[in-house]
A and B are shown apart, each in its own frame.
Chain A
Amino acid sequence: MAKLRLDRIKPLVALGAFLLAWWTIPTTVKSFLKASFSEFQAPAWVATSYLDDLENFWARRSHSKVELIEAGREVARAKSLYQFNSQRNETLENEIQRLEAILNLPSRREFRYEVARVVRRDLNAWWQQIVIRKGKDFDIPVGAAVVFSGGVVGRVVEVGAFTSRIELVTSPNFRMAANFEGDERPVVYQGLPQSGFGDPLGAVRDAPKDVIASTQIPLKLVSTRLGGTFPPGLMIGRVSWLEPGNTGIFQAGEVELDTRLLSLHEVAVLIPLYPIDLQDDVP
């Protein structure tokens, strides 16, 4: 009888021993174990994503020639539009540089970008992360901004040898400075715990009280260059209502985010070309 009881508590003893050991080992060892575990998992995720790509490739092979020709035309149209926009951007860039020279202004922060495939989505109520297929091998730094065609995606929080983990803009652990389009005053954007059923939402606070948002004329919340991570003007979401916060002077409200954020396939990581100079750089 006594032996049976001992058998029963064996798992609890083992769990207790494991927790005790985990509690006593140094933090550096824990970090090392965690990183090793990630690196161990990463090749499997990468391999899965390549298999997905291959599957998509074979799926597209089955399309008819007519469909492919039509798709080719679409691509050609999009390409010409992008070429036109690219030229216009170049002209604007030159104009900005000329004005900066006249006004003796220091240049804005410049970025290079790395386009990367999404290999894994880790989405739940408490955190919202994705893993991309580029890491230290492409010099991706921690803290870099991640964007897509619809605006802000998030920020790099962990970089492995061949993968990087991105904290999504929808995550409650993601916070950034922002401003309403056309208004230079900074506000705070932060992700919210997501319900999993509705559209992704975030929260904005510290909005000046003279800012008015309505469902008829929602305000665009965009990134600001003040924070140093994101280039200015990237779309974060739309704000349809604001209400006075607990200070009685600033407002807070919800931000409707892009639904594509939860089904991304490809993102771009913006890597600063030079480290920020806190004294001289234009914020």
Chain B
Amino acid sequence: MSGYDIHRGENPRIIFFFWIAMATTATLVLGLGWRQLIAAQKYEEIEKRQTERRVLKPGARGDIYDRKGNLLVGNRAHYSAVVYLDDLRREFREEYSKIIRAERAALKEAYQLTPLKEREDSQLTPDYNELQWVARQNVIQRYIDQINLITGRDDAVSTRTIIRHFNEQLLLPLPLVSDLKPDEYARLIEQVPVQSPIQIHTDTARYYPYGVAAAHTLGYVQKVNPDPDTIPNDGIKTYTFKSKIGKTGLERSFNDLLSGEIGAEIWRVDPLGFQDSLLDGKTPRQGENLITSIDIDLQMAAETALGERTGAAIALDVRTGEVLAIASHPSYDLNDLSPFIPRKTFGEINERGAWLNRTLQLSYPPGSTFKLLTSIAGMRHGTLTLQTEHDCQGVFRLGNRIFHCHARYGHGVVDEAAAIESSCNIFYYAEGLRMGIDVLSAEAKRFGLAERTGIEVPYETKRLVVPTKDWKRERVGSGWVPGDTVNTAIGQGFLLVTPLQMATFIASIARDETRTQPTLRALSYVEAQQVNHGGEPVGLTRKQRAELWEGMERVVGDGGTGRLVQIDGLRIAGKTGTADFRAHGKEVNLAWFVGFAPVENPQIAVAVMVEGTSSLDSYHGGSTAGPVAKDIFLEFIEHYPERAGFQIAR
């Protein structure tokens, strides 16, 4: 008789319980099966979300070089002392216990001193949450004090910073001290014990070996949180180190190229969110390098020649439109803006008006340099011939208005070449009137002076004015008068162009075309052979062009307005200009020089503009802007003697 035989009494109640037990077991088995086989993936995803964290680290930005391989923008080490809060958990607990004990004792004492009637139970309960933050702050501050002792700093951490870090960036290191100087970094390396939770974190910051050189063109970067689109949307909580994006200049235009590839780490975390083990990792990768067309020697020559003055200088490769030098003053040292822009530095640069890139962000009247365009327009339209002469007596009467020449007693009888050489206003007043504003404006537009150049630097101004009758009616609200035409003919009046436009203009004349597409990218040999500037031939006969160029060469001759630009052995064609301009709330001078060299085979085109900052400044194209251009030409001869037509010194 087996042990179960005793149940053979056929008690019907036991059958009832048997079926209940069977149903319950079946439910459990089915439930288990459903969860294990069907809903397993869902639970895996939930588990992953709860236990895994992703840390994204941006890659370093690529470097920027000049055309000869000199580093213009690189990355330097940026040191900070950090601590992973996970390493401090034991200290947090100990400090918290200590504080709690002290707080309870203090409350108890206060409670006992309180009269019986005023006693409340809550008086004996400390605010545990607040004390927890106090404990954490105390521990972290102790480490900062240790750093302060070694470095001589006086840094502190706020509870708010700690709370924010705990809530938003627990897996990332908490910066204790940022932007350590090399000696502070070295002291910490030597004096903080290897076993200390303090770690010396090395990041990158932008570094500019040439400081102020081409500051506006190269641009600077800003630290930002990464684009949310770059974060995988797989439910895993992601922490990100800040990345850098270009804010201005080439850093902005070529941001995609220069930005590094983001690296990632997947961490398993414990229930409190602290890191437990590294599951997967991918190393960040540095961005691509950019090779610019800038020649740092010419750039430094332009920067040095401009010196403390306000203005702009640009040098272009006549054939390809590559920018060899592009300087805007006042400038700023880009290193002062890295790793971040201090408020004081921002204010100081703002006060000097140095944020503005004068090569392309501001437009100015071109002054007498525009007479070259008036000449071309006249010759193409047939109003100006090789025989044309005007008698300059120093004044030009137009109705009841008198227009002056800069030579008080006049230049006498001048032809086109002589008018260019002496920059005679009277000649161009008369020629402007003869051809009319429609012809003049059309020619200026044909040379692209009403359009932005499209160079790879952002924020090129839209405020470019090549006036027409319609334009004046719309914008000024009055009709066009002959006085406007004569003013326009000598580059004054409503005309507004940028120095970069004038550089492309003079390069176009040098190539006998109407357009020059400037670029800051160094072109390969093949690209340089295939450059298409998008213009058309100027349309002058050989004799007309010779007359124009002769006048320009005479400008730099012994009797010309640009004689200070003369260089022995180098034939330079140029044009000076001096314009009146209203800036800084006052009338100031603008000094211009545009030119190219060598005349027999043009290689380099230069445009220089120097802006007066006071009504007392007496600036002239030949004496103020000319020497700046001369320094650029001299540097060109030194570094490209074969292109300048000189024998290579060996």
Contacts and interface: CB of A to CB of B under 8 A. Distances in A.
A144 B553 CA distance: 72
Contacts of A261: none
A262 interface: no
A185 interface: yes
Interface stretch (A77-85, A91-99, A133-141, A226-234): A226-234
Interface stretch (A16-24, A245-253, A267-275): A245-253
Nearest to A175: B194
Interface stretch (B38-46, B184-192, B560-568): B184-192
A22 B321 CA distance: 80
Contacts of A172: 194
A202 to B, nearest CB: 13
B77 A248 contact: no
Interface string A136-179: 00000001000000000001000000000000000011111100
B60 interface: yes
Considering residues B152, B189, B263, which has the most beta carbons from chain A within 10 angstroms of its beta carbon?
A: B189
Interface residues of B, number: 28
Contact of B186 (A143, A177, A247): A177
A29 interface: no
Contacts of A177: 185-187, 189-190
A283 interface: yes
Given A174-B194, A175-B189, A208-B77, A249 B204 contact: yes
Contacts of B200: 188
Contacts of B59: 248
A186 interface: yes
Contact of A224 (B186, B193, B284): B186
Contacts of A279: 152
Contact of B194 (A190, A246, A250): A190
A257 to B, nearest CB: 17
Given A248-B283, A249-B204, A228 B185 contact: no
Contacts of A185: 77, 182
Interface in B254-296: 260, 263, 283-286
B151 interface: yes
B530 interface: no
Contacts of B260: 248
B202 interface: yes
Interface size class of A (residues with CB under 8 A): 20 to 34
Contacts of B186: 177, 186, 224, 226-228, 283
B183 interface: yes
A226 B194 contact: no
A173 B190 contact: no
B194 A248 contact: no
Given A175-B189, A249-B60, A226 B183 contact: yes
B299 to A, nearest CB: 21
B125 interface: no
A248 B263 contact: yes
A188 B202 CA distance: 11
A181 interface: no
Contacts of B57: 247
B177 to A, nearest CB: 14
What's the dominant secondary structure at chain A's contact region?
A: loop
Given A206-B202, A247-B284, A176 B77 contact: no
A18 B634 CA distance: 86
A278 interface: yes
Given A188-B200, A206-B202, A248 B182 contact: no
Given A174-B194, A175-B190, A248 B183 contact: no
A249 B75 contact: yes
Contacts of B77: 185, 206, 208, 250
Contacts of A247: 57, 60, 202-204, 284
Given A185-B182, A278-B151, A279-B152, A228 B190 contact: yes
Contacts of B194: 172-175, 190
B195 interface: yes
A227 B182 contact: no
Contacts of B152: 278-279
A174 B187 CA distance: 14
Interface string B170-214: 000000000000110111011101110000101110000000000
A143 B190 CA distance: 9
Contacts of B190: 155, 175-177, 227-229
Nearest to B57: A247
A278 to B, nearest CB: 3
B187 to A, nearest CB: 5
Contact of B286 (A155, A246, A249): A249
B195 A173 contact: yes
Nearest to A173: B194
A248 B202 contact: no
17 contacts: A143-B191, A173-B195, A175-B194, A177-B186, A190-B194, A206-B77, A208-B77, A227-B187, A227-B190, A228-B191, A229-B190, A247-B203, A248-B285, A249-B204, A250-B77, A278-B151, A283-B186
